[in-house]
């Protein structure tokens, strides 16, 4: 029995992992909760035979466990797409056993909906990028609260907002109520703290990517700054894991979403998938390219002449730029 090949499905939890082991015909050889440690999981599954392939649903912490099983146990393991996995369940009931069995069965028959298992360095870069985005979102929300409070107090600044003269007016001259002044002071203090956090995380990102050749090639692109380069590197990881530029653009959520049925077809905006942070920075980059790059500026003018709105133009530029970047990055690799 121990020479047989088996397939393993893992349902991840913080304290334990449900392990389901199947033989090549799909029969259940064993199912058990194991401690959340690669050694306990490998010992249990290897007791039924040689692990041909394993699968674990992508979630918080599962990538680290999968990498340990690859490095320490020598397994071949795939991350399963959680959205597709949930739609493949044949009934409304959910349990750890059914989830682990489904993962094992799908990898056995070759139908597992896979996602990329990013290496440790890329996952670490993603942590930094997402922390930076959290701080940027907090800064935006704080600014919105300040503007809302000024509207409530019916105050209009004599200068453009968020400039040094505007901050001087807000701190010293704005005729705020007693409690309004206290709240504004707290918001301003919070803005100072957030700016310090952003400075620190950007320095950390510079240090983490100073020797990264992919980031260096991205920074050499026209109109691309450090934040855009860091985000692309963290979220895309490797360009050669995509077969075509269209696949890469779809991963970045920049392609149209098809909404067709029967003989009727229509576009329903861009696809609702992928990293929102990545799509946002790419659209911001598209706006810069449409202003500073002659070719993209001409493209924008042609689309405007055709009656396309600015939002559609920006996404179209980002879509085409990513397809071009795919070929440039793979040729330089």
Which residue stretches of the chain are H helix?
A: 38-46, 62-73, 82-88, 96-109, 120-152, 164-172, 178-208, 213-219, 226-236, 245-251, 276-292, 294-305, 310-332
In sequence order, which residues have a C-beta less than 8 Å from that of residue 332 and are 6 or more positions away? 217
pTM: 0.87
Question: What whole-number distance in Å separates Cα of residue 288 and Cα of residue 230?
Answer: 17
Domain ranges of the chain: 5-115, 120-208, 214-332
pLDDT tens-digit profile of 75-119? 999 999 988 888 777 667 788 999 999 999 999 999 999 999 999
Neighbour tally for 284: CB within 10 Å? 16
Mean pLDDT of the chain: 92
pLDDT tens-digit series, residues 7-60: 999 999 999 999 999 999 999 999 999 999 999 999 999 999 999 999 999 999
Q: Tens digit of pLDDT for each residue in 280-306?
A: 999 999 999 999 899 999 999 999 999
| Contact between residue 60 and residue 49 where contact means Cβ atoms under 8 Å apart | no
Question: Which homologous superfamily does the CATH classification assign to the domain defined by 5-115?
Answer: ATPase, nucleotide binding domain (3.30.420.40)
Residue 222 reports pLDDT greater than 70: yes
165-182: average pLDDT: 95
Residue 20 near residue 101, CB atoms below 8 Å? yes
Contact 103, 116 (CB under 8 A): no
Share of residues in the chain with pLDDT > 70 (%): 95
The mean pLDDT value for 162-185 works out to 95
Say what the pLDDT of residue 1 is.
44
Strands 77-80 and 114-115: antiparallel
User: Is 152's pLDDT higher than 50?
Assistant: yes
What pLDDT is attached to residue 93? Answer: 73
Q: What integer pLDDT is reported at residue 83 of this predicted model? A: 83
Mean pLDDT confidence for 176-188: 96
Q: How confident is the model at residue 259 (pLDDT cuts 50, 70, 90)?
A: low
**Residues in Cβ contact with 83 at an 8 Å cutoff, skipping those fewer than 6 apart:** none
Task: Give me the torsion for CA of 77, 82, 85, 90, rounded to 10°.
Answer: 140
């Amino acid at each position: 029995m121990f020479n047989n090949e088996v397939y393993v499905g893992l349902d991840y939890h913080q304290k334990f992992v449900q392990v389901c082991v199947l033989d090549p015909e799909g029969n259940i050889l064993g199912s058990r909760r194991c401690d959340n440690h690669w050694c306990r999981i490998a010992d249990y599954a290897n007791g039924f035979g040689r692990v041909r392939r394993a699968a674990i649903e992508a979630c918080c912490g599962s990538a680290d466990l999968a990498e340990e099983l690859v490095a320490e146990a020598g397994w071949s393991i795939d991350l399963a797409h959680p959205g597709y996995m949930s739609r493949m369940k044949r009934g409304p009931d959910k349990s750890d056993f059914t989830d682990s069995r489904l993962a094992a069965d799908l990898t056995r028959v070759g139908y597992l909906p896979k996602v990329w298992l990013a290496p440790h360095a890329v996952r670490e870069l993603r942590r930094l990028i997402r922390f930076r985005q959290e701080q940027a979102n907090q800064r935006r929300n704080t600014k919105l609260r300040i503007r809302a409070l000024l509207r409530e107090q019916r105050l209009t600044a004599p200068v453009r907002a968020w400039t040094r003269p505007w901050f001087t007016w807000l701190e010293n001259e704005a005729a705020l109520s007693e409690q309004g002044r206290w709240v504004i002071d707290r918001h301003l203090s919070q803005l100072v703290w957030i700016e310090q956090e952003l400075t620190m995380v950007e320095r950390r990102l510079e240090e983490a990517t100073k020797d990264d050749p992919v980031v260096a090639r991205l920074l050499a692109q026209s109109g691309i700054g450090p934040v855009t380069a860091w985000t692309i590197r963290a979220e895309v990881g490797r360009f050669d894991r995509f077969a075509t530029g269209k696949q890469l653009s779809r991963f970045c959520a920049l392609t149209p979403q098809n909404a067709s049925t029967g003989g009727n077809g229509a576009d329903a905006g861009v696809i609702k998938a992928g990293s929102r942070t990545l799509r946002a920075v790419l659209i911001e980059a598209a706006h810069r390219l449409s202003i500073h790059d002659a070719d993209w500026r001409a493209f924008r003018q042609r689309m405007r002449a055709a009656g396309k709105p600015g939002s559609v133009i920006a996404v179209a530029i980002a879509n085409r730029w990513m397809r071009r970047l795919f070929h440039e990055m793979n040729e330089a690799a």
